[in-house]
Amino acid sequence: MTTHTEDTTTVEYTAERPARLEWAKHAPEVYKAMVRLETAARKGLDHTLYELVKIRASQINHCAFCIDMHTKDALASGESVERIVQLSAWDESRHFYTAKELAALELTEAVTVLTDGFVPDEVYENAAKHFDEAELSAVIAAIAVINAWNRFGVTCRMAPGHYRPGQHA
Instruction: For residue range 77-93, list pLDDT tens digits in order.
Output: 999 999 999 999 999 99
| Residue 11 DSSP SS3 | strand
Main-chain dihedrals φ then ψ at residue 74, nearest 5 degrees: -65, -45
| Residue 151 DSSP SS3 | helix
Average pLDDT over residues 35-52: 94
Q: Is the pLDDT of residue 97 over 60?
A: yes
Secondary structure E strands in 1-97? 2-6, 9-13
Instruction: For residue range 99-119, list pLDDT tens digits in order.
Output: 999 999 999 999 999 886 799
Shortest CA distance to 120 belongs to which of 129, 128, 111? 111
Buried b (16+ CB within 10 A) or exposed e, 31-49: eeebeeebeebbeebbeeb
Q: Is the pLDDT of residue 1 over 60?
A: no
pTM for the model: 0.90
Shortest CA distance to 55 belongs to which of 150, 121, 155? 150
